[in-house]
Amino acid sequence: MNIYIKVEIKEREFLSRFILGAYTALKGNEVYIGDDELLQLVEKKQLNPGIILEKSIPPKKSRINQLKNYKKNKCIITSLDEEGGLATIDYKKNFAPRRFSNKTLLYTDMVFCWGRYDYNLNKKLFPRHKKKFLITGNPRYDLLKEKISHQFSNKHDYSIKKKRIVIISSLMIQALKRESMASLSSLKNNYFKERYFFRKSISDNYLKLINNITKLYKDLIVEIWIHPKESLKKWKAIVPKSKNIKFTEGKKFILNDNYNDALIYIHNGSLMAFDVLLKKKNVVSFQPIKHRLNKTFPNKFSKIIYNEKQIFLLIDKLIKKNNKINFNYENKINKLINNSKNFDACEMITSHWQRYQSNSLEKKNRALFLKIKNKIRLFRQSINYIIYNNKFAPFTTNEISILKKKIKKIEPRFAKLDIKLLGPKLISLRKND
């Protein structure tokens, strides 16, 4: 079958979708992974029918029209929401209405859920479509399994054996870039305005915290994990210049069990907290202001600290004793994220796709057509001086070469895969005959 997997933010989603594609290709499927232009070709019937994996199905007119066009091309539509609603305080009121509707679900064949939490809520909110919701987990948490994390965990460009503190950004730059009330005119929804002012206040306090840590702890590295939507340049412009401040830019940070732990990982409402918690690291939710938007699952399952003084006391304690914060939320997280422990989301999603195996989905696409189409796209962008979308940097031949080498080490079966670069933002995977 043809499998079309959409990636919106490359640094956040690509690697997990690549591993998913690899498992799926082993079943004899032809897998294509790319940005929105891949699915535009499917819409226009320039690619043959297949199974689509969308990242969300919001009730927008444009998305509804997309789904209709997929169906006109006799495609099977599946969706896995990349946000999952776990970082939102009110799934029913603030998340589900923005991500689903009875109309979009009408055109969707399967919706993959992170765990029992979103699965049960979705069934209650959309009872007409309850059979379409399936618990699979999210492939991003397959990346935390040792066989994968060992290959893809980040290698730092510094070898200083200083102890580290990690700050996990939750769109701090995005919050800070608005300078006037007038700039908020686009935020028509009151919830979004409330969230903006909350994030602005949180971000101001986090910048103050970073500055004070660098002043008080000269022997500590402060490592800032930049959100994929944020700019390294903008971050460097607002933090103090210090040799002890390091950045991990926009990447899905994969933690290896053998990796040298940071003393603490500090965040507020970041889904990355789950990644760190599942590796049983010291995770702190810094909540310098009281607000209802603090009440998220990533915060709830972290050690909550309300002021800088408490953070400094904790740092002092951890430096002296090098001990661990008590971690007792594993079972609760397992209910939220199905594949956090035992199951593999990639294999579960693949098994659901295989249910639709039919001749109508197996007509092969012309690789030459895709290559020509993407060359035209690249030429058009260069003529019009279009800068690549920050969300999806183009693939490089070196990047694909590294992926080929690493994936073979995860599982011997992956050595049978043929991985091709078809365009600046498009790759294909298939099993060699």
Q: Which fold has domain 2-138+341-431?
A: Rossmann fold (3.40.50)
Q: Which fold has domain 154-336?
A: Rossmann fold (3.40.50)
- Tokens (6 digits) for 89: 């305080």
Residue 27 phi/psi, 5° resolution? Answer: -80, 5
pLDDT 10s digits, 251-295: 555 555 545 578 899 999 998 888 888 888 899 999 999 999 899
Overall average pLDDT of the 168-196 stretch: 63
- Tokens (6 digits) for 85: 């609603």
pLDDT 10s digits, 355-366: 998 888 888 887
What is d(CA 327, CA 11) in angstroms, rounded to the nearest whole number? 28
Residues 86/47, Cβ–Cβ less than 8 Å: no
- Specify the DSSP element, H or E, that contains 264: strand 264-267
Q: How confident is the model at residue 190 (pLDDT cuts 50, 70, 90)?
A: confident
User: Is pLDDT at 106 greater than 90 in this prediction?
Assistant: yes
- Tokens (6 digits) for 250: 């926009």
Query: Considering only CA atoms, which of 151, 154, 156, 155 is closest in space to residue 19?
Result: 151
pLDDT of residue 387: 44
The count of C-alpha atoms lying within 13 angstroms of the C-alpha of 217, restricted to the half-sphere facing its C-beta, is: 23
Average pLDDT for the chain: 85
131 Cβ contact partners less than 8 Å away, ≥ 6 residues apart: none
Overall average pLDDT of the 81-110 stretch: 91
CA gyration radius, the chain: 22
User: Is pLDDT at 211 greater than 80 in this prediction?
Assistant: yes
Overall average pLDDT of the 87-106 stretch: 91
User: Is pLDDT at 228 greater than 50 in this prediction?
Assistant: yes
Q: How confident is the model at residue 192 (pLDDT cuts 50, 70, 90)?
A: confident
Region of poorest pLDDT, from 148-152, 275-279, 292-296, 407-411: 148-152
Q: Which range has highest mean pLDDT (21-35, 193-207, 220-234)?
A: 21-35
> What is the location of CATH 3.40.50 in the chain?
2-138+341-431, 154-336
User: Is pLDDT at 21 greater than 90 in this prediction?
Assistant: yes
pLDDT of residue 159: 47
Give one DSSP letter per residue of 44-68, joined into a string. TTSS---EEEES---S-HHHHHHHH
Q: How confident is the model at residue 113 (pLDDT cuts 50, 70, 90)?
A: very high
The structure's pTM equals 0.88
Q: Between 37 and 184, whose confidence is greater? A: 37
Long-range CB contact pairs, 276-281, < 8 A, 24+ = 276/168, 277/301, 277/302, 277/327, 277/329, 277/333, 278/141, 278/144, 278/330, 278/333, 278/337, 278/340, 279/144, 279/255, 280/324, 280/327, 281/255
pLDDT of residue 422: 86
User: Is pLDDT at 348 greater than 50 in this prediction?
Assistant: yes
Q: Between 90 and 383, whose confidence is greater? A: 90
pLDDT of residue 386: 44
pLDDT of residue 344: 92
pLDDT of residue 153: 67
What is d(CA 78, CA 75) in angstroms, rounded to the nearest whole number? 10
